[in-house]
C-alpha cells in the first residue's frame, strides 16, 4: 500500500540513541575498571608494531621485546619524575620571592573587584581566612594523596594488561573472525587493520608532536630565563594531547607565570606569549597534518563534543582518549551499512551528492 509508512529505521535509530545513553551511563559508573583496560588497549596498539619489528628484524623474542620496551618507558618516567621533583623543590625554595609578586597582583585585583584584604596578614593568610581557601587546599591535599595511590595501582594494572594483550594481539584477528562464524572475514580484517593503522599512527604522531612541543617550549622559555622551564615544557607536552584546548591552556598558564615573574616589564611576557603561539601554530597546524598524512576525517564540532563527553565520563584521561575513540567509532560506522549515515554525520567533508537528472530534459533527449 502506498500510504503505508515504514517506521523500522526510525525505531532502530531511537533504540540506538537509547543504547548509546545506556552505554555512556555504564562507562561512567564502571570507569575505575574500564579506563585502565582502554588505556592498555591503546598502548598495546602503539607498542605492538615496535615489538613486532624487534621480533622480525632482530629475532628478539616477544617477551624480551616487551621487557625492553617497559625498561625504556620506566627509565624515561624515572628521569622525568626526577626532574619534576627537583623543579618542585625549587618552586618551594623560591616561594618567598614570588609571594611579593602575587601579593601585588592580589592587591590590584582586590581594588578592582572589591575583594577582602587585610594589610596586616600575609598573602596566604589573606587567601585562607578571607576567601575561604583553607578548606579547598585541605581537600586538594587529601585528593592528591588518594589520586597518587590510585595512579600507582592503575599503572600496575595497565602494565599487566599491556603485557597480556601484546602477547595475544596476533591471535585476536583469527579469534574475531571465528567468533562471527566466518561471516564477512574480509570486511572484519579490513576494519581491524584500519583501526590499528589509524589509531597507532595518530597516537604515535601525537606523542612525537607533543614531545617536540615540550622541547621547544622549554628552550624558548629558557632563553627568556623564565623560572622552572622543565615544568612548563612538561605541561605543554601533556596538555598538547588534548586537541585545541590543551595548547591554549598551556599557553595561558605559562604566559601568566611570566607576567608574575617579570612584572612590570612587558617584553619577556610578550616573548613568552609569542613562543607559545608560534610553537603550537607551527607544530599543530603545519607539521602535524603533514606527518599525519591521511586526514582522520572527523568534524571539528564532533571533536569538541567528544572532548566534552569523554571528559565528563573519564576526566582528563577521557579528553586525551576522545579522538582515538571517535576514530574507532567512525571506522566501524563506515563499514556497517546501517550505521553509515552516522559516519557521514561524524565526517569533516560533505558527501558527494548525486544530482538527479531533470525528467523533462531526459524525455526531450529521448
Buried b (16+ CB within 10 A) or exposed e, 46-73: bbbebbeebeeeeebeeeebbeebeeee
- DSSP letters spanning 244-287: THHHHHHHHHHHHHHHHHHTT--HHHHHHHHHHHHHHHHIIIII
- DSSP letters spanning 165-201: HHHHHHHHHHHHHHHTTTSSHHHHHHHHHHHHHHHHH
- CA-based nearest residue to 246, from 287, 201, 283, 220: 283
* The predicted structure's pLDDT at residue 216: 92
- CA-based nearest residue to 66, from 47, 43, 45, 40: 47
C-alpha cell at 346: 561524524
* The predicted structure's pLDDT at residue 362: 46
- Alpha-carbon dihedral sign for residues 62, 188, 31, 141: positive
Answer for the pair 221, 250: CB distance below 8 angstroms, yes or no. no
SS (H, E, C) 58-114: HCCCHHHHHHHHHHHHHHHHHHHHHHHHHHHHHHHHCHHHHHHHHHHHHHHHHHHHC
Count of CB atoms within 10 A of residue 234's CB?
19
Give residue for cell 584546548. Answer: 245
- Alpha-carbon dihedral sign for residues 48, 162, 309, 207: negative
Answer for the pair 119, 107: CB distance below 8 angstroms, yes or no. no
- Mean pLDDT (the chain) is 76
End-to-end CA, the chain: 32
Tens of pLDDT, residue by residue over 289-347, are 776 655 566 777 888 888 888 888 888 888 888 888 888 888 888 877 777 778 887 77
Count of CB atoms within 10 A of residue 269's CB?
21
Answer for the pair 268, 222: CB distance below 8 angstroms, yes or no. no
* The predicted structure's pLDDT at residue 202: 83
The secondary structure of residue 337, as a DSSP letter, is: G
- What is the rounded CA–CA span in Å between residue 344 and residue 339? 9
Element (H, E) at 161: helix 133-179
Residues of the chain with pLDDT under 50: 1-2, 354-356, 358-364, 366
* The predicted structure's pLDDT at residue 180: 62
Bridge partners of 298, per DSSP, are 347
* The predicted structure's pLDDT at residue 161: 86
C-alpha cell at 320: 586525551
Amino acid at each position: 500500500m502506498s500510504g503505508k509508512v515504514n517506521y523500522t529505521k526510525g525505531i532502530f535509530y531511537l533504540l540506538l540513541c537509547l543504547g548509546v545513553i545506556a552505554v555512556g551511563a555504564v562507562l561512567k559508573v564502571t570507569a575505575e575498571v574500564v579506563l585502565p583496560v582502554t588505556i592498555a588497549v591503546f598502548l598495546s596498539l602503539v607498542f605492538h608494531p615496535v615489538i613486532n619489528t624487534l621480533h622480525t628484524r632482530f629475532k628478539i623474542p616477544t617477551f624480551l621485546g616487551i621487557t625492553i620496551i617497559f625498561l625504556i618507558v620506566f627509565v624515561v618516567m624515572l628521569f622525568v619524575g626526577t626532574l619534576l621533583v627537583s623543579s618542585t623543590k625549587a618552586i618551594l625554595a623560591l616561594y618567598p620571592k614570588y609571594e611579593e609578586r602575587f601579593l601585588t597582583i592580589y592587591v590590584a585585583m582586590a581594588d578592582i573587584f572589591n575583594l577582602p584584604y587585610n594589610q596586616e596578614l600575609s598573602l596566604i593568610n589573606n587567601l585562607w581566612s578571607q576567601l575561604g581557601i583553607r578548606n579547598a587546599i585541605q581537600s586538594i591535599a587529601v585528593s592528591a594523596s588518594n589520586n597518587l595511590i590510585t595512579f600507582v595501582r592503575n599503572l600496575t594494572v595497565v602494565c599487566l594488561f599491556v603485557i597480556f594483550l601484546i602477547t595475544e594481539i596476533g591471535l585476536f584477528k583469527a579469534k574475531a573472525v571465528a567468533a562471527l562464524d566466518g561471516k564477512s572475514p574480509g570486511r572484519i580484517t579490513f576494519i581491524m587493520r584500519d583501526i590499528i593503522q589509524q589509531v597507532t599512527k595518530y597516537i604515535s604522531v601525537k606523542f612525537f608532536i607533543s614531545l617536540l612541543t615540550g622541547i621547544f617550549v622549554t628552550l624558548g622559555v629558557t632563553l627568556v630565563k623564565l623560572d622552572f622551564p622543565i615544568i612548563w615544557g612538561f605541561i605543554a607536552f601533556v596538555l598538547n594531547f588534548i586537541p585545541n584546548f590543551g595548547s591554549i591552556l598551556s599557553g595561558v598558564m605559562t604566559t601568566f607565570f611570566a607576567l608574575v615573574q617579570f612584572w612590570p616589564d612587558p617584553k619577556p611576557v610578550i616573548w613568552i606569549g609569542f613562543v607559545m603561539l608560534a610553537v603550537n601554530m607551527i607544530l599543530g597546524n603545519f607539521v602535524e597534518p603533514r606527518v599525519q598524512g591521511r586526514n582522520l576525517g572527523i568534524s571539528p564540532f564532533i571533536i569538541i563534543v567528544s572532548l566534552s563527553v569523554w571528559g565528563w565520563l573519564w576526566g582528563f584521561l577521557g579528553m586525551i582518549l576522545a579522538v582515538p575513540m571517535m576514530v574507532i567509532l567512525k571506522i566501524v560506522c563506515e563499514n556497517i551499512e546501517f550505521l553509515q549515515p552516522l559516519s557521514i554525520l561524524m565526517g569533516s567533508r560533505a558527501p558527494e551528492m548525486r544530482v538527479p537528472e531533470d525528467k523533462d530534459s531526459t524525455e526531450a533527449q529521448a
